[in-house]
Structure formats: C-alpha cells, structure tokens
Amino acid sequence: MPSFLTRPSLVASLAACSAAVLSLSACAGSTADSASGGRILVIDTTFNLKSADPGRQFEPTGQTIGKAIYQTLLTFKGGDVTKPVPDLATYEQSKDRKTLTLRLRGGTFSDGSPVTADDVVFSLNRVIGLKGNPSFLLKGVTITKNDASTVTLTSKEPNLALPFILANPSLGILNSKVVRAHGGTETSADKAEPYLNRHSSGSGPYTLTAYSTTTQVVLQKNSKYTGPDDPTYDKVILRNVQTPTQKLNVQRGDSQIALNLSSDQVQRLTGGVKVLSQTSSDVVFLLLNQDESVGGVTADPKFNEAVRKGIDYQGLLQLAGKGATQPAGIIPSTFVGSLPPSEATGRDLEGARAALAAGGLKHPKVTLSYANDTAVGGLTLQPLAERIQAQLKEIGITVDLAPGPSATELDKYRAGKNQMGLWKWSPDYPDPSDYLVFLPGNLVGLRAGWKASADAELDPLVEKARLVTKSEERNAAYKEIQRRLNASGPFVSLIQPSRITVTAASVAGVEYNPVWTIDVADVRTS
C-alpha cells in the first residue's frame, strides 16, 4: 500500500484538470469553480477500507463514504449522538421497546426512482442475509412491510438501541431493482459487490465515480438528491495519505481537510488552517486469546493478570499526546455505563511479576499482531506496540511484534487467529449495548477465543443490562460488567485517543461523529 499519492497519480485521477492550465495545488486544493465542473473538496486520511458495498463495509473510511452516498432510515445531527433524528423515515417505538415503526417521508435514488418500503425491506434483509461484519447490527430483528411507505422492525426482547443502530451507514438503503439486476439477493449468494464497488445505488447527496482501497475514492454530487441540505461541493476526493504528508498537504492548500494528525503535529502548524479537537469515542485495547490452541500462554489467567498490571498506562498516554485519556473500562468515558477515572487500572510491577510466578510462567514469549497502516488519533499502532513490548519486557515477558497491512491483519483478527492483538474499537452506534460484543460468545469475545458462558458471573449481569429500561439501573449494570471484565476478561483497555481534525480556513461545518467520522455533505465554505 502506498504511503501517499504521488503527484502524477493524483493528476491522472483528476483528468478534468489540465496540467497545462492548472497546477496540482490549484486543481486539488481549490474550492473555486473551475473547468473541472465546480467546487472540489479534498480530504486526506489513512484508509481503512475494504468495500463500497454498504452491506459488506464496516471500516472507518467505508463508513465515511457510505454516509455520503447512501441515506439511512434515521441519522444524527452533526456530532450530537444523544438522539436519533429522521433521515429517510420518522419513527415510533412501542412501550415494550420491542417494535419500531418507520414511516418513509420521501427520498429519491440517483436514477430518479423513489425510495419505497420494498427497498427498505430488501436492504435490511440483505445485510442480515450476507452474514458479513455488519449483520450483527440487526441480530434478532424481523423486518416487515406494512404498506408502500411503512415498515415495522420487531425484536424478541426490548431493544432500546435500535433507533441508534439504524443510523449506521452499513444500513444504507439500496435501490433494490438496480441491485437485484446486478446479482443482489437477500442471501449469502449475493453477487452485487463488484457492481457496488463501481457504481452507487443510493439516495445520498453523492454518487460514486472512482474507487480504490489503496489510493483514492471520488464522489460526485447527486443531482437527484432530495435531502434537507444541498451539498456545497460538486466533487469530493478522499485520498489515502500518511500523516506526515497530510500535514504538508493541508498546510500548503493541496487539501482542505486532514483527519489523522496527532496533537504533536498540529502544534507546529502555522496560519491558514483551523484545528478542531474533540473527545474521541475510540478505545485502543489489547486482546489476549483464550483459545489455548491459538493463544497458548495467553489463555492462562495469571498471564493476563501480569499483562494488565505490567502495562505503564501513563507512559502510553504520554506517547499518545495531549487530549488522550485512559478509559477505566472498555466503554469510552463519553458513554453511559463507563467507569469513573478513579477505577482505571494502574501499573503494578511487583504484582505483575508475582502473577507470573504464581502461574509458574518463566520467561513467557508471545506474538503481538496489529495493523501498521492504521492511525488512531494521529498515532500509528507501531510506536504503541513498541512501547508495550518494552514495558512487558520489564516483567519478564518477551513480545515479538508481527505488524502487517490492515487488509490482511483485520482478517486474522476477525477469524480469532491473534495470539495477542493490538486493536481499537470505534463504536457502531453510540450506546453501551454496543460493547456487549466484548463478552463471552459474542463478536469480539469470540475473536479472543472467549466462548459462551466462559464466565458464569457475567451472565446475570449481561441479562440485566440487556433487559432493563430505567437509565439508572442500566448504567449500574454496565458498570458492573466492566468491573468483571477488568478483573478476569481477555481485554486490556489502554487509551482513548483525542480526535483532531485540521481544516483549511475556508472550510466550515466539520463535526466529528463517532460512527462516520465526518459527514462530507455538511462541509461548507466559511
């Protein structure tokens, strides 16, 4: 994967910009109308991208792109994720919180056809039937068409999180007739992904015109869009660029937005740019595989205790820079159910060495896997991994680093093949129930080889958190789950990075959202 786009490749991708007439800076960075067909917005980010098919994509860059080209039934306004608001539909939830009724309020696909209840049913059932990474979002949900403009979603148990879930771009509504014509089905036999990687079939403010998982994605303004706000920019270009080059590009005007700069990097930026700093909802964590056939020593509770006590969390925060915090549990500090800072784990070298001794573990050796092309709050995982390696060496644990590109490392992680992994969790929806995936038998728990009912003390806590509807009781239940996870779970929460966005002075309307990072349709000129 190239670290950044070379100037020749960028010029080639913007064929409408003639090198004989315009310099690269004027072509890529200008927001003024030009011979290329209008205003252009250039966004630099480090790609975490596998597909443009909304039912298959579940990576941060894919979420940003999906938000731009597909509308969802519900959404959030800007960065406020405390309350879902209508997008394609209004909603009403039953008193028992098991039934959600959605009434379409218009919407037009990019080919001019209207969004119908049939499109909603097909799109949501397709996500379920694909059995891909986003399928869990609708686990246990039945989708029913009531009439041409009304759909009902029914859950077997109270589902307070469902309105928050429906805002996820992976649940974008597809033009069912077009997608079916290109191999789309509501089962795993679906063959529409190649088509959706070349053409979008949505009702969002933009359409897809060029797509690469390694270089750049180009979006064009959708002339048929009927949403509330008309986008300012006629073309949006998202480029795969490493952070040092992101800084150079936004400083000299070759881009208008840089998404992955660190707090250290922005301190040295000069005039002409704006720095937006907001609290991140990402959590970086260590995974310790509990499947002995995969993890070996990492399945030993004493080894896990030693790792948890051997980490110098303050040292990791120093590396992450200003604005980063240590989460006290797996739920970020910005969500209901998070533990107070006073309960955060501290370093205990003697306790760590004692745990190894009690387990009869002499000089254990493990392999730490992670993606070396992913930035978290402007910080790549490589220096974090190196610091963890050095910290655990102090207590007698040898850590071999095994980095690789995210395209391959994510597959290994998702298949549960990491002995020890360094990963981040970005929320799929802003509700603490999203973090039940870390429990035994659930999505991330299984990636750590943690099978169902592996911890009997967690089962009643999970049941209470899942069914309770009173906010105080729900909050308390999630806190108890975290305390148990901290005591005996296979995950070690490390840092909660800050979220820094740098924009040109000419840009406004940029707000961080923990689900899709930024909504490119909201970006305006100041």
Confidence of residue 15 (pLDDT cuts 50, 70, 90): very low
pLDDT given for residue 55 in this prediction: 97
DSSP secondary structure code for residue 419 in this structure: S
d(CA 307, CA 287) in angstroms, rounded, equals 11
CATH number of 283-496: 3.10.105.10
Distance set, CA 172 to CA 65, 78, 191, 200 (Å): 11, 17, 18, 11
d(CA 369, CA 308) in angstroms, rounded, equals 17
Residue 4 reports pLDDT greater than 90 = no
CATH number of 7-261+501-525: 3.40.190.10
Of 431, 468, 383, the closest CA to residue 166 belongs to: 431
**Average model confidence (pLDDT) for the chain?**
90
Residue 36 reports pLDDT greater than 70 = no
pLDDT given for residue 469 in this prediction: 75
pLDDT given for residue 498 in this prediction: 84
Please tell me which residue, 444 or 430, carries the higher pLDDT value.
Answer: 444
Distance set, CA 294 to CA 291, 417, 420, 448 (Å): 5, 6, 9, 9
d(CA 408, CA 258) in angstroms, rounded, equals 25
Greatest mean pLDDT among 151-155, 266-270, 426-430, 433-437 lies in 151-155
pLDDT given for residue 74 in this prediction: 98
Which residue ranges make up each domain of the chain? 7-261+501-525, 283-496
Sequence-distant (6+) residues with CB within 8 A of 152 are: 99, 100, 101, 102, 143, 144, 146
Beta bridge partners of 221: 206
Residue 39 Rama label (left phi>0; alpha psi -120 to 50; beta): beta
For 164-217, the pLDDT digits (tens) are 999 999 999 999 999 999 999 999 999 999 999 999 999 999 999 999 999 999
Confidence of residue 26 (pLDDT cuts 50, 70, 90): very low
d(CA 233, CA 330) in angstroms, rounded, equals 38
Task: Tell how far CA 52 is from the center of its chain.
Answer: 14
What percent of the chain clears pLDDT 90, i.e. is strictly above it?
A: 75
Sign of CA dihedral 70, 76, 81, 84: negative
Per the CB < 8 A criterion, the answer to whether 130 and 55 are in contact is: yes
Distance set, CA 409 to CA 64, 221, 417 (Å): 21, 34, 10
For 436-468, the pLDDT digits (tens) are 999 999 999 999 999 998 999 998 998 888 888
Residue 85 reports pLDDT greater than 50 = yes
Average pLDDT over residues 239-253: 94
Residue 427 reports pLDDT greater than 50 = yes
Token output for 259? 């998404």
pLDDT given for residue 37 in this prediction: 65
Q: Which of 9-18, 187-196, 251-260, 389-398 has the lowest mean pLDDT?
A: 9-18
Pairing of strands 379-380, 283-288: unpaired
Average pLDDT over residues 126-146: 96
Residue 10 reports pLDDT greater than 60 = no
For 320-376, the pLDDT digits (tens) are 877 789 999 999 987 878 999 999 999 999 999 999 999 999 999 999 999 998 877
pLDDT given for residue 526 in this prediction: 86
Task: Tell how far CA 293 is from the center of its chain.
Answer: 30
Average pLDDT over residues 133-159: 95
Residue 32 reports pLDDT greater than 70 = no
